Each structure stands twice: as C-alpha cells, then as structure tokens.
C-alpha cells in the first residue's frame, strides 16, 4: 500500500480517527505520519499514562501523611504522578488502589487474559474454588451427604491439578 499523502513511499502507519461518529482512516508513510502528527495531533492535549492514572487516583484524604516505609513514596506524590515507587507500595496504598481498580474493571479481582496453554488449568482451579464455596454452604445447611460428594469431587480435581504440575516438572527437567 502506498502513502495516501505523498503517493511515493510505502504506507506503514495506519491511523483511524472517530469523532462524532465520523470515521477517518489514513494510511501514511513514516515521514508523512510525523508531519501529520505535528500538524493535527498536537492540537489535542497530550496525556501520558501516568497523567491518566494520576487523574483517576485523585488527591487522597491522607495527603502526605501516608508514606511507604520502603521507598518513601508519599500519598500526595502517588496521586500527582500516578506511579508507585516499589512493590511494597501496593500494600501501603491498597485502600486507594482497590477502588480505582474497581472503577476501571468493574471488580476488585483481576480478570485479565489467561495464556492458552494455562486455560484448562485455570478452569479447573476456578471450578475447585466454586466447589469449595458450595461445600461451605452445604455444611452450613447441614446437608452432609451432598457435602461429602462435593468434597470428593474437589479432591479429584485437586489430584488432577497435582498430576499436571508433576507433568510440567518432568517437562522442565528434561525427563
């Protein structure tokens, strides 16, 4: 595909813009794309990911009082920059991170993608978790026969998971 602007170089930048339900597509070479960006894209306020996250976090009620003991990151600096200083910050700022994750994802539990090779294992783990929850409910209702059946199913699935881990260990050991 040839650049739509200069009609000389190969188009390797493909840009789609939708404004007020009007779709505009451009296929440009790198040179024309840079010129186009300088001409039009810079009219929009540039915002990087850190600024975006800082806007989501907003100022915290604790301000500078909350501070990570490991890296000295303060609550105010975290709110301003949207960056955490170290892995310990996740625990220190958990009360502020968790509501933000809920707003973005709709849940406080990570629901990201699972690699294809781990998908069947993940499904079994999720089923075990659901069965354990059901088991607690059955015991609370004193439905012990059903609870015993569910317990056996959980053991069966856990053995299946343990067998897969052994297989993976043998594969990584070269056996």
Cα(79)–Cα(83) distance, integer angstroms? 8
In a domain, 110, yes or no: no
Residues 63 and 99 in one domain: yes
In a domain, 111, yes or no: no
Residues 120 and 169 in one domain: yes
Domain count, the chain: 3
Residues 6 and 29 in one domain: yes
More reliable by pLDDT, 14 or 112: 14
Residues 56 and 101 in one domain: yes
Cα(135)–Cα(121) distance, integer angstroms? 21
Question: Does pLDDT of 175 surpass 90?
Answer: no
Q: What is the pLDDT of residue 153?
A: 95
Residues 38 and 54 in one domain: no
Which residues does 4 contact at the CB level (< 8 Å), separation at least 6?
11, 26, 27, 28
Residues 120 and 131 in one domain: yes
Residues 95 and 123 in one domain: no
Domain that holds residue 25: 1-46
Q: What is the mean pLDDT of residues 96-101?
A: 76
- Report percent pLDDT > 90 for the chain: 24
Asked if residue 15 lies in contact with residue 33, where contact means CB atoms within 8 angstroms, the answer is yes
| Nearest 10 degrees: Cα torsion 118, 120, 121, 125 | 130
Count of Cβ atoms closer than 10 Å to residue 162 Cβ: 10
Domain boundary among 105, 126, 144: 105
pLDDT tens per residue across span 75-86: 777 777 767 788
pLDDT tens per residue across span 23-55: 888 888 888 887 876 655 444 444 455 555 555
Q: What is the mean pLDDT of residues 93-113?
A: 73
pLDDT tens per residue across span 137-164: 999 999 999 999 999 999 999 998 888 6
Cα(60)–Cα(80) distance, integer angstroms? 10
pTM score: 0.35
In a domain, 98, yes or no: yes
């Amino acid at each position: 595909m040839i650049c739509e602007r200069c009609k000389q170089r190969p188009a390797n930048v493909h840009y789609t813009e939708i404004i007020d339900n009007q779709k505009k597509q451009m296929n440009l070479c790198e040179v024309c794309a840079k010129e186009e960006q300088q001409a039009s894209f810079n009219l929009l306020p540039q915002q990087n990911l850190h600024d975006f996250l800082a806007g989501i976090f907003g100022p915290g009620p604790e301000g500078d009082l909350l501070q990570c003991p490991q890296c000295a990151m303060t609550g105010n600096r975290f709110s301003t920059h949207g960056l955490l200083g170290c892995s310990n910050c996740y625990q220190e700022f958990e009360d502020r991170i968790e509501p933000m994750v809920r707003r973005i994802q709709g849940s406080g539990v990570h629901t990201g993608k699972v690699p294809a090779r781990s998908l069947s294992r993940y499904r079994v783990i999720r089923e075990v978790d659901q069965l354990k929850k059901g088991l607690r409910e059955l015991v609370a209702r004193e439905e012990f026969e059903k609870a015993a059946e569910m317990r056996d199913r959980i053991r069966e699935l856990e053995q299946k998971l343990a067998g897969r881990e052994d297989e993976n260990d043998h594969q990584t050991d070269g056996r």
